[in-house]
Structure 1
Amino acid sequence: MFDNIILNTDSYKASHYLQLPPGTEEQSSYIEARGSDRGWDKAVFFGLQAFLKEYLTKPVTLAMIDEAEQFWATHGEPFNREGWLYILNAHEGYLPVEIRAVAEGTILPNGNVMVEVVNTDPECAWVTSYLETALLRAVWYPTAVATNSYFAKRAIWQALLKSSEDPAGQIAFKLHDFGARGVSSQESAALGGMAHLVNFSGTDTVAGALAARRYYNEPMAGFSIPASEHSTITSWGGPDGEEEAFRNMLARFAKPGSLVACVSDSYDIYHAAEELWGSRLKKDVLESGATLVVRPDSGDPLTVPVEVISILAGKFGYHLNALGYKVLNPAVRVIQGDGITAESLPVILENLMAAGFSADNIAFGMGGGLLQQVNRDSLKFAMKCSALKVDGYWRDVFKDPVTDPGKRSKKGRLALVLEQGEYKTIRREDRHAEQEDLLKTVFRDGRILKLYNLNEIRARAGAEFEKVDEIKAVA
């Protein structure tokens, strides 16, 4: 139903082939993150390759053209059947466009070109803009989620640098993706879940791990552990059965070296932490050789997990690390998965450290706050035409609305360069010979020319976390 690229657009796009100036041969458009309503000054570029593999490597067929014509005929828009038949016959159905993009995983300051698109056949200048709806959506959503996850990682990393003796050994599993049930579709879960895995290795979003395998050649990008839900605890007979439900979790999953997570707020999180886990089941926890991860799931997320950690410290003990922070007995940890957002997460960490505890003691799960509470304005994404070639000559195309300077668009054919270590978007003709254009051709005429795997994307996006001294200075 939704695999016809001709119908993967906005309605008004169907008429735009009639609106270009006579003699138009090429249309060059670009994608950028213009800014942020979330305070993000940069973006983690990700997700283009998934779109290319899923949609643009598949040719348009006569059946697709016929389907589209029937739709547009009753929808109120003209249909460029002649143009699509030309693509079918002259290009075997593959779209005659070239896409250049910065390397996936690049952390790019806002206001810079990420992607540039241009048609490769002068008969098809209209195709560039026709792709805007699908292509922009394919880029903004996974990039926004990857960026959301990245800024959460920065907050956790800074807390670890302040309070942990082993930040590098902790960070990969400090934020777990709980978002699959909170997104709008399975495809959203796949793309968003995969985007989170650029920064972390913990997930319960199966679709994200599968997408990373399919689109980025990573056999297993994310990992999980046995964990309870409220139904598996409350089904044991109400409050009186909670202890047996907990005991069953230990018996089934608590083995030497393993982790097991147990939701513990079905009735009284404080009673569960102090009396059940901390007294009646303490011996079982310690003798299992596993790490029990206690999960609060209600109440004020800014304070409850800190209170639970304090209770567990009193029951299971702790040691002071070299930085002067308390670290729980390795038999117990806490994960907070309720109410976690980019805004609440750093506050919880601040409260935890203010109470004298290391960030070692806690991990986080984020659901809607990770995958669903982003939109195109989270990074003010836009795709705009910046140049037209008309009768053999290139001309600038831009907008500059007097009512909103923030929507001023770029002019000309663009390049992305580094100047004194800073990314800068310039006109191609202004690029010096020694300056490398960081936009590389990834797609042309139905073929992907540059493939990235998730490991190299992770390395690129995570490079700054190797610079411990610089991050510590920020912290």
Structure 2
Amino acid sequence: MTIPLNDRNIILDTDSYKSSHFLQYPKGTTRLFSYLESRGGKYPQTRFFGLQYILDRYLTTRVTADMVEEARALIEAHGEPFPFDGWMRVVNVHGGKLPLEVRAVPEGTLVPIHNVLLSCTNTDPELPWLVGWFETMLMRVWYPTTVATQSWHIREIIRAALEKTSDRAAEELPFKLHDFGSRGVSSRESAGIGGLAHLINFQGSDTLEALRVARNHYGADIAAFSIPAAEHSTITSWGKEHEVDAYRNMITQFSRPGSIYAVVSDSYDLKNAINTLWGEELKADVIASGGTLVVRPDSGEPPAMVRLAVNALAAKYGTTTNSRGYKVLNHVRVIQGDGIDEQTIRQILDNLDVDGYSAENVSFGMGGALLQKVDRDTQRFAYKASAGLIDGAYRGIYKDPVTDPGKRSKDGVLDLVQEGGRMVTKAYKTFDTDFPGSLMRTVYKDGELIVRDTLETIRGRG
């Protein structure tokens, strides 16, 4: 019978070849220093997020002798050597706590590309190879950081449109981009940390897992909000001939003064749903109920469908012109949740502007493009060794491939500082520094999480 492996065995959360590296560093190596950066990519700056979760969830785990034995048996059978004595030193000398120090910029910070975001070094001179062992785990901060970065840049697009066309920009902005991505990601954990990365920029989400991660690891009681909303099954289960009754039920169940509810309205014919059902048969009910109806198109070409819906609803419900000269729909709004990405958001907002409508008339639901259509190369993340202590002497470590100059790595004991109004990476040629003027902090040391920021604090840094 095959014995299942321990899900909490963090020794196994690495790449196979890492297990051979303890034999590869020069003799006399007692210290290594590695760093993480975005080497470029789609956006000129990143919004750093997610390290606290990784450290809290995984690197505070105590290594046990059973974990070491389990890892040795698997890795040696897998074809790799295993640093058994080193791992047992972690257990017996350090009480299972990892002798590592991690420094990082505060989560939520916007950092220009090509700068250090986090660094890692060993605190036990017998175990320098641990710095590379956990590259695999620490590198995964690329995912929440990239989601947070994309979400932030889209927020700035929407912010500009609201500030131009709305009297309520500050109130509207937090709920303009809603996370619909939970079903489109690869795992529950991706939904949680990716969904929470979005929520450092916005407060609307249907990804409940993000709320759980926020509460457990970022001190947030309720990280986001949602509203009652229909899906196709709750409309089509009434039958096509009773479509209007399905809509009427939504009003009865969810519409109250001040409430908001969303109804997918293209199960059969969007034009008929807006012009006849919502616009005539149910119009008096929508208005009398006092709630705000949000109509959701869910098929067709997104910019065209939103344009159609907004203009049709304006013809039926009327508009009010705000102080900026833009029209705001009365009693109704539109949310587009299909085919939404940065490009379609820009197109929809441009169409609204051209047609004289405020951006507050429309919200966006973003799914796969928000949480899944990113990868490590979106921002070209890399984790590289940059300094070592070998036979007691400092040595800079870097690579500089002639075939790809863009992959030249930095050397030195790195830090992030503010100089002349901009962030720059500073390189020390010694391990003996107290990092004066640093923008980074020691967030983890010797198995303990040193800094624990709340979601509210992180949001305030954007």
Normalised to the residue count of structure 2, the TM-score between the two structures is 0.97
Counterpart of 2:307 in structure 1 is 306
Q: What whole-Å deviation, never above 9, does each CA across 1:66-100 have from its counterpart, x for those lacking one?
A: 11111112111111111100110010111100000
Displacement, 1:299?
0.2
1:325-344 alignment, distance < 5 Å: 325-329=326-330, 331-344=331-344
Q: Which amino acid aligns with 2:187?
A: S
- CA gap of 1:429–1:27, structure 2 versus 1, over 3 A, is closer
Displacement, 1:414?
0.6
Contact map agreement 2:396 2:429 (CA 8 A) in 1: no
Aligned partners of 1:48 and 1:2: how far apart in 2? 20
Counterpart of 2:28 in structure 1 is 23
Q: Which amino acid aligns with 1:108?
A: V
Question: Please, which moves more after superposition, 64-73 or 370-379?
Answer: 64-73
Contact map agreement 1:226 1:253 (CA 8 A) in 2: yes
Counterpart of 1:418 in structure 2 is 418
Counterpart of 1:51 in structure 2 is 54
Counterpart of 1:129 in structure 2 is 132
- CA gap of 1:201–1:355, structure 2 versus 1, over 3 A, is same
Contact map agreement 2:90 2:97 (CA 8 A) in 1: yes
Displacement, 1:241?
1.2
Q: Which amino acid aligns with 2:95?
A: E
Corresponding residue to 1:7 among 12, 37, 55: 12
- CA gap of 1:432–1:118, structure 2 versus 1, over 3 A, is closer
Aligned partners of 1:232 and 1:409: how far apart in 2? 54
Aligned partners of 2:429 and 2:84: how far apart in 1? 36
Counterpart of 2:356 in structure 1 is 356
Displacement, 1:307?
1.1
Contact map agreement 2:412 2:429 (CA 8 A) in 1: no
Counterpart of 1:78 in structure 2 is 81
Displacement, 1:428?
3.1
Displacement, 1:429?
5.5
Q: Which amino acid aligns with 2:27?
A: P
Q: Which amino acid aligns with 1:342?
A: E
Counterpart of 2:264 in structure 1 is 263
Aligned partners of 1:428 and 1:454: how far apart in 2? 32
Specify the SS of the correspondent of 1:377. coil
Displacement, 1:394?
1.2
Specify the SS of the correspondent of 2:75. helix
1:28-427 alignment, distance < 5 Å: 28-36=33-41, 38=42, 40-137=43-140, 139-237=141-239, 239-329=240-330, 331-427=331-427
Displacement, 1:432?
11
Displacement, 1:2?
3.2
Contact map agreement 2:229 2:263 (CA 8 A) in 1: yes
Q: Which amino acid aligns with 1:67?
A: E
- CA gap of 1:445–1:433, structure 2 versus 1, over 3 A, is closer
Specify the SS of the correspondent of 2:299. coil
Aligned partners of 1:151 and 1:395: how far apart in 2? 39
- CA gap of 1:391–1:429, structure 2 versus 1, over 3 A, is closer
Aligned partners of 2:264 and 2:100: how far apart in 1? 51
Aligned partners of 2:433 and 2:413: how far apart in 1? 15
Aligned partners of 2:434 and 2:72: how far apart in 1? 47
Aligned residues, how many?
456
Counterpart of 1:466 in structure 2 is none
Q: Which runs of 5+ in 2 are unaligned?
A: 1-5
Aligned partners of 1:279 and 1:258: how far apart in 2? 21
Q: What whole-Å deviation, never above 9, does each CA across 1:391-436 have from its counterpart, x for those lacking one?
A: 1111100011111111110011011000111000011369999951
Contact map agreement 1:30 1:385 (CA 8 A) in 2: yes
Identity %: 52
1:445 aligns with 2:446: yes
Counterpart of 1:471 in structure 2 is none
Displacement, 1:290?
0.3
Specify the SS of the correspondent of 1:231. helix
Displacement, 1:313?
0.4
Q: What whole-Å deviation, never above 9, does each CA across 1:19-53 have from its counterpart, x for those lacking one?
A: 000000000000001111x2x10000000000111
- CA gap of 1:429–1:73, structure 2 versus 1, over 3 A, is closer
Q: Which amino acid aligns with 1:56?
A: L
Contact map agreement 1:113 1:414 (CA 8 A) in 2: yes
Contact map agreement 1:9 1:132 (CA 8 A) in 2: yes
Displacement, 1:122?
0.2
Contact map agreement 2:394 2:429 (CA 8 A) in 1: no
Specify the SS of the correspondent of 1:124. coil
Normalised to the residue count of structure 1, the TM-score between the two structures is 0.94
Q: Which amino acid aligns with 1:314?
A: A
Q: Which amino acid aligns with 2:360?
A: D
Specify the SS of the correspondent of 1:32. strand
RMSD: 1.4
Q: Which amino acid aligns with 2:310?
A: I
Question: Please, which moves more after superposition, 65-74 or 243-252?
Answer: 65-74
Question: Please, which moves more after superposition, 361-370 or 428-437?
Answer: 428-437
Contact map agreement 2:340 2:369 (CA 8 A) in 1: yes
